[in-house]
Homo-oligomer: A and B are copies of this chain.
């Protein structure tokens, strides 16, 4: 009997030690603290920096590193806000601001150029608690369009403002206005010039379907978050499509297509070929499948992105978080810049296909 007790104690000791080793491998010290306290409310955050033909073989080590660092900086910004008890709405805004201020993404600072050589910016944000929402389309001088979308949501009677009127509202709200030249980056300007050239060669028709140009329009950024108060929110910010004409508006400022959030279900931000995301009402469709069909977030995201969207002819991806903190990062392109971080501080960063 004594021997048996000793044996059990030994087994117990070994297995405890193994468990501790595993924890060290996957979690940072801060995470261990939160793991040991189950009473800490759940929270989490997930971001994307655009989906497209993102392949390891086309990426230099230094560029890959730059993307990874910026994704990590962005997501840690929002995670810290959430860890400190801040709101999902604030985390979404500040996280997106980091990506908006980087030339790496097709959003604000790194926005692509229109056919007329301008940068037209779109953004939207939605509050899953109140179902309130704000969005802007075609602004040219607002440093952080996601902040303007937020102001539209909380300080106007409207959901969607556009062009000069949206800029006037930005000024009245005291947002940071920049000279349009702030959005100039040589890389994006050259991309627009190449797109123009191709369009001439191809008789104005195929440029939109040119794989090169298609990828140039990717790079939209987005974020979805769950805060400790149990509220979720999502936001999206983009420079639209390289060489775009006719004041085209994509899915990013469209509630239900580019952005959707509802505490009942999930918060979603889309990236990809906007026209198909509008026709598929992609962000809301994921929520509707959860609410009406009882699908999990992952099941709904997979159904919409891997089946319904390609059936229409569209491609791209979404990131989303549900009211329980489950996360989806689903795309049908070669890659999607993405990252997620949970309440334990576990960080995952990805760029290429799974």
> A residues touching B (Cβ–Cβ < 8 Å)?
126, 131-133, 137-138, 156-166, 168-169, 208-209, 245-250, 254-257, 260, 274-275, 278-281, 284-285, 288-289, 292-293, 312
Contact = CB atoms under 8 A, between A and B. Distances in A.
Nearest to A127: B279
Contact of A256 (B138, B245, B248, B257): B257
Grouping DSSP codes into helix (H, G, I), strand (E, B) and loop, the A interface class, with mixed when no group exceeds half, is mixed
Work out how many copies of this chain go into the complex: 2
Contacts of A248: 158, 160-162, 165
B275 A256 contact: no
B137 A162 contact: yes
- Residue from A165, A166, A209, A285 whose CB has the most chain B CB atoms within 10 Å: A165
B160 A163 contact: no
A278 B159 contact: yes
A215 to B, nearest CB: 16
B278 A255 contact: yes
Contacts of A160: 248-250, 254, 278
A281 B293 contact: no
Contact of A166 (B156, B159, B166, B247): B247
Contacts of A257: 255-256
A137 B126 CA distance: 21
A159 to B, nearest CB: 5
B163 A138 contact: yes
